Amino acid sequence: MTTSAPAQTSTAVDTAAATAAAGDPTTAVEIHNATKSFGDRQVLKGVDLTVKKGTVTVILGPSGSGKSTLLRAINHLEKLDEGYVVVGDELVGVRVVGDRFKELHEKQILRQRSKIGFVFQNFNLFPHLTILENIVEAPISLGIKPKAARELARTLLERVGLADKQSAYPRQLSGGQQQRVAIARALAFDPELILFDEPTSALDPELVGEVLGVIRTLTGGGTTLIVVTHEIGFARECADWIVFLDEGRIVEQGRPEDVLDRPRERRTQDFLSKVL
Amino acid sequence: MTTTTPPRTDQNNATADADGRPTVSANAVPEGVNLRALAERRVIPLRHPVRWVITALVLVVLLNFGQTLFTNPAWEWAKVGKWFFSPAILAGLQLTLLATGISAVVSFLGGIVVALGRLSGNPILSGASWLYIWVFRSVPLILVLIFLYNLGSLYPTIGIGIPFGPQFEVQTFTLLSDLTLGVIGLSLSEIAYSAEVVRSGLLAVDQGQHEAAKSLGIPRRRQFTRIVLPQALRSIVPAYVNQIVGLLKASSLLFYVSLLDLFGVVQNLGSTYPTDIIPLLVVATIWYLILTSAISIIQYYVERFYARGTTRTALPLTPFQRVRAAANSLRGDSL
């Protein structure tokens, strides 16, 4: 435990976090002692994780291991009971008050979230809005001029190869296309960090490739990606770092060639033998 | 299982499997028939003779009744025509429309507020909303109306102020006209119902939609107005229009607090002209039918608006669009 005694109420760069995160400018995300229970079931049991800037981290683990909860805690969709998350130089969702963390006002949390991309397993596109409206909704609501937002949206759609679909409704697209739109939507604020929660699990097998292809184009450009997935092939090819989670704890982490090919822990070996 | 001889009838070609259980094949391939030869002929669809019999019966009943409309002089159609556009009836119609219209709008907005109250995390707010719904769903509308009508004797003045502190008060009767009281009564009870309609609509919106809106950082109020409410309205609209139709008819209770709505006027005229009671009732019936039909037409278009994006293909044409398309294609043919 490296937590230093925090100073009194502070705002932008919180001291406790700053000592840890700002100490290393190459860190994109720092998670410390992430603990979370649903009722009497503890799903995260004190997870520590550091993610380097511009890297691709893949989180693996059996279902119910807490990997989605951990990912959702990074943009505060899930509130931690204990522990903290620092993204860039900001504490996420909380600030330091005296000797405790205190939850931020929703407005501030929403502002933080807008800078972190999040891609859901079920796409969660807004079905009553066209593809273009889906992408411009958040930028316009946060003060970007509609004309500029539409221009940006068209650029993003081009990036994911769906420029011709802007006036379609989500249900008129295939699952793979919908997920590509969801990725374009998550890119609207040019986030430095994008979180993917099983982005290909709801797709027909033949559509997985196009989505992974789009995710691949986001790697190597300085954007940090954290991906919860069961696609071991993708992990081997694109990941810089693999984290294996089981029963709310990190069992093993390392480079893909180590964790995937020479897992040290028994539970990692068991899991890989089942999914490979 | 003890083996019993399976029932064997030629018709259903019953056989038995290895365990002796009967496997009834009701439609085995008939022997000696060349299926290939039949394969290119059109399949005869199943006929429904019972449907034809029932249709005939219904038609006979309807035609009989229809005949009485013309042959029974007691309908007095001439008088129906005389009363239909009479100033008294039109004044009543106007009041019905006014009371229903205002109450419908007030109850919808009030319903959203009370529904949000019930869904609120604040226990006082959700408790108060629950209490409100409980009271006004339990008490008959007529009772609410008569209560309000006698409000002057219950609270001679109405005011608001800090409890046990300074108060601001006005006379109940100078503040509230009869129509205002009527609309308040209708709305009070209607809000309770529409709150439940709105609440069920809001709950029907997928949790993922809330999460996506949150994760994009969309401000809270806009999450509701742009993302959640439009999707909820898809299921709210049909149920709420049902409520409005109920409200339209419930507005006839205003008669009991001496407001002359459509029904009230008919009731009054009926006692003045007792021989015209049947034609007067017919007039009211036709007007209510017209109003409900108008509401249904509006409903169709509103539902259609909120259905955008729900289908994989474009929405089917409206009847009006279909007529126009048919007219256009006819014109195209003749050219």
Secondary structure E strands in B108-162: 157-161
pLDDT of residue B221: 93
Residue B217 has its nearest CB partner, among A126, A129, A142, at: A142
Indicate whether A8 pLDDT > 50. Answer: no
State the Cα–Cα distance between residues B76 and B278, nearest whole angstrom: 8
pLDDT of residue B173: 61
Count of C-beta atoms within a 10 Å radius of residue B205: 18
- Quick one: CATH architecture of B83-307? Orthogonal Bundle (1.10)
Which amino acid is located at A1 in the chain?
M
Contacts A–B by Cβ distance under 8 A: 79
Contact: A141, B312; criterion CB under 8 Å:
no
> Does the structure's ipTM exceed the value 0.90?
no
Helix (H) or strand (E) holding B138: helix B123-138
pLDDT of residue B330: 82
Which phi-psi region, left, alpha or beta, contains residue B314 (left: φ > 0; alpha: ψ -120 to 50)? Answer: beta
Contact: B216, A113; criterion CB under 8 Å:
yes
Indicate whether B95 pLDDT > 60. Answer: yes
Q: Structural domains in chain A?
A: 1-115+192-276 (3.40.50.300), 124-190 (no CATH)
The pLDDT tens digits for A190-231 are 899 999 999 999 999 999 999 999 999 999 888 999 999 988
B217 contacts in chain A (CB < 8 Å): 110-115, 138, 142, 189
pLDDT band at B166; cut points 50, 70, 90? confident
Indicate whether A9 pLDDT > 50. Answer: no
Which amino acid is located at A201 in the chain?
S
Indicate whether A13 pLDDT > 60. Answer: no
Residue whose C-alpha is closest to residue B146's, from B191, B100, B178: B178
SS3 A254: strand
State the Cα–Cα distance between residues B93 and B91, nearest whole angstrom: 5
Structure tokens at B282: 């017919």
The pLDDT tens digits for A221-245 are 889 999 999 889 999 999 999 999 9
**Closest CA of chain B from A129, distance in Å:** 7
Secondary structure E strands in chain B: 15-16, 22-23, 157-161, 167-171
Give the ranges where chain A is alpha helix by DSSP (H). Answer: 15-21, 67-74, 106-113, 131-141, 146-159, 175-186, 205-217, 232-238, 256-261, 266-275
Interface test with B, best of A114, A141, A201 (most B CBs within 10 A): A141
User: Which residues are registered as beta bridge partners of A165?
Assistant: none
CB A138 within 8 A of CB A124: no
Average predicted confidence (pLDDT) for chain B: 88
B237 contacts in chain A (CB < 8 Å): none
Mean pLDDT of B170-191: 83
Contact: A170, B309; criterion CB under 8 Å:
yes
pLDDT of residue A58: 96
| CB proximity A74 to B under 8 Å | no
pLDDT band at B311; cut points 50, 70, 90? confident
Mean pLDDT of B282-302: 95
| CB proximity A187 to B under 8 Å | no
Indicate whether A1 pLDDT > 50. Answer: no
Give Rg (Cα) of chain A: 19
pLDDT band at B9; cut points 50, 70, 90? very low
Contact: A130, B309; criterion CB under 8 Å:
yes
Indicate whether A175 pLDDT > 60. Answer: yes
Indicate whether B26 pLDDT > 60. Answer: yes
State the Cα–Cα distance between residues A230 and B56, nearest whole angstrom: 63
Domain-by-domain residue ranges, chain B? Answer: 83-307
pLDDT of residue B84: 94
pLDDT band at B18; cut points 50, 70, 90? low
* Cα dihedral across residues B160, B162, B126, A128: positive or negative: positive
Indicate whether B315 pLDDT > 60. Answer: yes
The pLDDT tens digits for A149-158 are 999 999 999 9
State the Cα–Cα distance between residues B295 and B245, nearest whole angstrom: 8
The pLDDT tens digits for B60-85 are 999 999 999 889 888 889 999 999 99
Contact: A185, B231; criterion CB under 8 Å:
no
pLDDT of residue B151: 79
pLDDT of residue A12: 44
pLDDT of residue A4: 46
Distance linking the first and last C-alpha atoms of chain B: 77
Contact: B208, A120; criterion CB under 8 Å:
yes
Cα–Cα–Cα angle for A148, A151, A152, rounded to 5 degrees:
85
Structure tokens at B260: 């002359």
Q: Nearest residue on chain A to B230, judged by CA atoms?
A: A128
Contact: A128, B308; criterion CB under 8 Å:
yes
Distance linking the first and last C-alpha atoms of chain A: 36
What is the DSSP code (8-state) at residue A12?
S
What distances in angstroms separate CA A269 from CA A251, A257, A272, one per listed residue?
11, 13, 5
pLDDT of residue A267: 93
Mean pLDDT of B320-324: 89
Average predicted confidence (pLDDT) for chain A: 90
B231 contacts in chain A (CB < 8 Å): 126-128
Contact: A107, B220; criterion CB under 8 Å:
yes
**Closest CA of chain B from A114, distance in Å:** 4
CB A7 within 8 A of CB A99: no
The pLDDT tens digits for A29-55 are 999 999 999 999 999 999 999 999 999
CB A49 within 8 A of CB A71: no
Indicate whether B270 pLDDT > 50. Answer: yes
User: Which residues are registered as beta bridge partners of B16?
Assistant: B22
Structure tokens at B23: 């496997």
What distances in angstroms separate CA B326 from CA B16, B94, B226, B316, one per listed residue?
59, 38, 37, 14
CB B7 within 8 A of CB B14: yes
State the Cα–Cα distance between residues B250 and B240, nearest whole angstrom: 15
Indicate whether A100 pLDDT > 80. Answer: yes
pLDDT of residue B159: 73
Contact: B218, A138; criterion CB under 8 Å:
yes
pLDDT of residue B155: 76
Indicate whether B185 pLDDT > 50. Answer: yes
Provide the percentage of residues in chain B whose pLDDT is more than 70.
90
Give the ranges where A1-81 is alpha helix by DSSP (H). Answer: 15-21, 67-74
Mean pLDDT of A244-268: 94
Mean pLDDT of B283-312: 92
Mean pLDDT of A113-124: 94
State the Cα–Cα distance between residues A175 and A180, nearest whole angstrom: 9
Interface test with B, best of A111, A128, A133 (most B CBs within 10 A): A128
